[in-house]
Amino acid sequence: MSSSPDKAKAKLPCQAFNRCIYTCVPTFFIVCSQEVAMEFVKVEEPELSKPIMIAAMQDMGNVGSIAIDFINKSLDTKCFRYVSAPYPNYVVDKGGHIDFEQDKWEYRWSDGLIAFGGGDGQPQTNQELYELCQDVIDIAKAYSVQLIYTLGAFHTNRNYDKNPKTLVTTTSPDLMAQIRKLGMETTPGSSLITGFNGLILGYAKANNLQGIGLFAEIDDPQMPQYRSAKSLLVTLEKLTYQKFRGMKELDEIAGAIDSELDRMKKSGDSFRF
């Protein structure tokens, strides 16, 4: 991507960007009622032997989903199973027309690795979240996964400029000690990690699987945080010996977003796409 501001603006990831700046889009929710169970569909049998698993869903700043989507693109993974969520209990009125979309999350594989999640959204009820976490654990056991990684965001007031760091938490003190020996910084204290990207670590621990959570600093939960996603991937490369090609693209997208925000701030414009 060109570093020219005008060209950068033309290459903004508009769909992802627009999805995150939700406070600036005039949207109305119309409630409807429909209850459909989650659907789990096997597509093919992957060729795997004791892989690692990386599982993450959309969260603050879209960090988890950006990272998973990039992993799938970089490693050219293949879908072997997917989960279709029930339709939501609302439609989105976009001003004269509505959207009514069903979320879908994929299990994808490449040599020695299963990637799950990415895309949009998370389960809407606790029951759906528990059901999905259990399915991830069942797939991990079916393919003899020994270690599950999850990825997410860590909201901070620290001024990190363009270099957010990644903090690590684990499912056991022994694993925490190993992480610290590698020179990695662990999360600073007691806090709650909500949603799939936290609960999957609890499910891993309850099922005697090791789990590592990587959480990158963000300063604005409503903005897509591409540099934070890159921080996660750099840390993941060190821990897994995987190599993710093309991470420069994440810096370019982050720069394009910065340029657009600066332009709008100077001109007094509202967010427009």
Question: CA of 100: how far to CAs of 87, 88, 97, 110, 121, in Å?
Answer: 8, 8, 10, 32, 13
The predicted structure's pLDDT at residue 36: 66
What confidence tens digit (pLDDT) does each residue in 68-93 have?
Answer: 999 999 999 999 999 998 887 778 89
What confidence tens digit (pLDDT) does each residue in 131-185 have?
Answer: 999 999 999 999 999 899 999 999 999 999 999 999 999 999 999 999 999 999 9
Query: What are the boundaries of each domain within the chain?
Result: 5-267
Residues 193-208 have a mean pLDDT of: 96
The predicted structure's pLDDT at residue 89: 73
Kindly write down the DSSP assignment for every residue of 81-107, as one continuous string. EEEEPPPPSEEEE-SSSEE----EEEE
Contact 167, 199 (CB under 8 A): no
Does the predicted TM-score (pTM) go above 0.85?
no
Residue 160's CB is within 10 A of a number of other CB atoms, namely 15
5-267 fold: Rossmann fold (3.40.50)
The predicted structure's pLDDT at residue 230: 98
Sequence-ordered list of residues with C-beta below 8 angstroms from that of 169, at least 6 positions apart, any chain: 176, 186, 187, 193, 201, 212, 213, 215
Residues 29-34 have a mean pLDDT of: 46
Which range among 7-21, 31-45, 76-90, 103-117 shows the weakest confidence by mean pLDDT?
7-21
Contact 4, 256 (CB under 8 A): no
The predicted structure's pLDDT at residue 25: 39
* Residue found by looking up tokens 């600036």 in the block: 24
Q: At residue 201, what is the residue type?
A: L
The predicted structure's pLDDT at residue 90: 79
The predicted structure's pLDDT at residue 24: 38
Question: How large is the C-alpha radius of gyration of the chain?
Answer: 19
Q: pLDDT class for 102, splitting at 50, 70, 90?
A: confident
Asked whether residue 270 carries a pLDDT value surpassing 90, the answer given is: no
Q: pLDDT class for 268, splitting at 50, 70, 90?
A: confident
Asked whether residue 250 carries a pLDDT value surpassing 80, the answer given is: yes
What confidence tens digit (pLDDT) does each residue in 213-224 have?
Answer: 999 999 999 999
